[in-house]
Amino acid sequence: MKKKDELLLNLFAATPKTQWALRVLLHAKQQKSRGRGLAMAFDGIRNPRLALAKACSYLKFFRPAKGQDILQTIDAAINLANFMGDDVKVSFGQKLITVKPGDKRKTLLAVFDPERGKALAEAKYWLGSIERDGQTEAQFVDFVREYVGKAGCTLADIGTTEEKLDTLVRKAHLNNAKYWLDSIERDGQTEAQFVDFVREYVGKADCTLADIGTSETKLEKIQRQIYRCSAQKWLGYCRTSKHRSKNMGTYVKQDASKAGCTLADIGTTENELSRLLASARF
């Protein structure tokens, strides 16, 4: 028997008798291709033609090997149906279904175990959103892993690997870093936290600030300017608000300190802040 035929037999993970029946069928196909007659018995039947008919009949009901889980059973039944070019009946638990040549794992799993079938479909959906639709949110990759786990499958079962997912996650983080940098530089967004987001996602993407066209010096300059503007904003509230709080003065000082400037640099003094907030009730 050819090596590829031996490997084919192993794909079915079948019981010994099923393996025997498969060998009879393989033998028949090989002999036909060589223009030779049949020569194998099966299950006590010595007449080769009757033995082949009995083997084919036996294979129409797939019997999983002991300890075979539902996915192995489905894969084996699909392989057997494709190999025979005919329908195969297979049972698992309390369910009996017919597997046709060309049937897909996703479809059969949904019949045998609807919850796992749904989870497998979800995993494929999120992987498709990432790979085909250009969606690269890191959370989507987590969804793929989550639903693959719920389906009791592996990443290979949906056509991907952990290495590919890691690459997609890094790409998602890099895109997020670029998004927050754009928000700061072009869209006029001036929250100090946005600068931290740039650093955070660059770190998660395992790249450098230079990879997104900036540097730590530029980010520090931007962040200092943001804090300076924030200190001036709180100073304005201290001067104009009818509902002053002592926290306003604290915010002025904190943001001025983070900006690396003094109260004089933003146009005030300690005495002015004390005077403005002397009547603050909280």
Which token pair is 78? 């699909």
For residue 180, which of 146, 205, 147 has the smallest C-alpha distance? 205
- pLDDT for the residue numbered 257: 93
Residue 81 burial (CB count, 10 A):
23
- pLDDT for the residue numbered 135: 55
pTM, two decimals, is 0.57
User: For the stretch 93-106, what's the b/e string if a residue is b when 16 or more beta carbons lie within 10 angstroms of its beta carbon?
Assistant: eeeebebeeebebb
Residues 31-84: tens digit of each pLDDT: 888 888 888 999 889 898 999 899 889 888 887 777 777 777 888 888 888 888
From CA 69, how far away is CA 77, in angstroms rounded?
A: 12
From CA 153, how far away is CA 165, in angstroms rounded?
A: 16
- pLDDT for the residue numbered 240: 87
Low-confidence ranges of the chain (pLDDT < 70): 1-14, 93, 133-136, 187-190, 282
Residues 77-103: tens digit of each pLDDT: 888 888 888 898 887 767 788 889 888
- pLDDT for the residue numbered 1: 45
- pLDDT for the residue numbered 12: 56
From CA 70, how far away is CA 67, in angstroms rounded?
A: 10
From CA 15, how far away is CA 83, in angstroms rounded?
A: 17
Alpha-carbon distance values, 256 to 27, 45, 252 (Å): 86, 95, 6
Q: List the chain domain ranges.
A: 3-112, 113-160, 218-276
